[in-house]
Amino acid sequence: MKYEDLDRPLMHLFMHIGKLLNDRLRSALGEGGIHFGQVRVLVSLMRHSELTQRMVGQGLDIKPATVTNMVKKMDKSGLIDRKRDINDDRIINVTLTSKGKEAANFALTVMEQIEDEIRSELSQRKIDGLHPPLERVRNTLGGSDPSI
């Protein structure tokens, strides 16, 4: 089907929803002094307590250079600690500081509030029915579930 023949392209709906979610998250997280891009790293470290920079990049599908820059900024702002592995100097281990744990908890609270708001408009049956097609769309576009 030709794009110009579509009355209501799904792509536009996905783009609009993505923008609305990003705007909402950026605004709420900014109130807590957290940069939008740091959230997935904070939450992953909360779940795993310690990860290597490489694991962060691979698990969240973030390019190595982006992870390096992000982690440096997060270290400088006191959210995480970076330490070279005692057995392999090429490996950098990353952990949350107490400030990072507070930030991760704040981020989780924000995400839970937004999730609750979305779910309040849908029945559990509708929610269960949404997951498989949305996952297929994500996979079709080359994505996958984060591994961490």
- Tell me if the pTM is above 0.75: yes
Structure confidence at residue 91 (pLDDT):
95
The pLDDT profile of the chain, 148 residues, written as one tens digit per residue, is 787 777 888 999 999 999 999 999 999 999 988 998 899 999 999 999 999 999 999 999 899 999 999 999 999 999 999 999 999 999 999 999 999 999 999 999 999 999 999 999 999 999 999 999 999 999 999 988 878 8
Residue 63 included in any domain: yes
Structure confidence at residue 8 (pLDDT):
83
Residue 20 included in any domain: no
Structure confidence at residue 118 (pLDDT):
95
* Structural domain harbouring 43: 25-140
Domain count, the chain: 1
CA distance 146 to 106: 21
Residue 14 included in any domain: no
Residue 19 included in any domain: no
CA distance 87 to 80: 21
Residue 40 CB neighbour total at 10 angstroms: 18
Residue 13 included in any domain: no
Beta bridge partners of residue 106, listed in sequence order: none
Residue 76 included in any domain: yes
Residue 114 included in any domain: yes
Which residues have CB under 8 Å from 100's CB, separation 6+?
A: 42, 45, 74, 78, 79, 80
Q: Report the CATH number at residue 90.
A: 1.10.10.10
Closest CA to 17 of 137, 142, 143, 144: 137
Structure confidence at residue 9 (pLDDT):
87
CA distance 105 to 100: 9
For the chain, the straight-line distance linking the first and the last C-alpha, in angstroms and rounded, comes to: 37
Residue 4 included in any domain: no
